[in-house]
Amino acid sequence: MLRGIDPVLNAELMHALMLMGHGDQLVLCDVNHPAQTIARHTTYGHLIDVSGCGLERVAEAILTLFPLDTFIDAPVKRMQVVGDASGQMPIFATIQKVIDRAEDRPVRMEALERFAFYEAAKKSFAIVRTSDPGPYGCFIFSKGVI
């Protein structure tokens, strides 16, 4: 155990976060996301599991170390509800509060259609799967600079 580092951040996740640079993207997802399949296409090449934690808790832990990109309009992307582009799920507001609090400012979150989200996820640096049951708990964070 290390001081000052949230224990939710396991060694593999810490390693991936340290490897990432400005503009790299991290996918944070629930258990429904085809994470294992898509993770093979990422820079990291395999899935990072954070078992026993939901999306809110893992996002809070990651954002203690991970700055969001301030050079783009929407440093966070989410999957939109299939068949209802303006549909809202409770997890959207929950993660919005987490990112706004972590950045101490309002942060724009952009919705992507399901298959567009999958394609964007394939281009990410890594995928982190939580134990969150979802649905629609799929987010992409763009890394900024400190």
- Quote the CA–CA distance of 58 and 14 in Å, as a whole number: 12
Tokens standing for 99? 């990112």
Give the residue among 60, 55, 19, 30 at the shortest CA–CA distance from 136.
Answer: 30
33 is catalytic: no
> Burial, 99: exposed, middle or buried (Cβ in 10 Å; 0-12, 13-18, 19+)?
buried
Active site residue 118: yes
Among residues 30, 44, 118, 136, the one annotated as catalytic is 118
Provide the token pair at 54: 């939901």
Given 15, 22, 46, 100, the catalytic residue: 22
Of the candidates 69, 84, 100, 132, the residue annotated as catalytic is 69
41 is catalytic: no
Residues carrying an active site annotation: 22, 69, 118
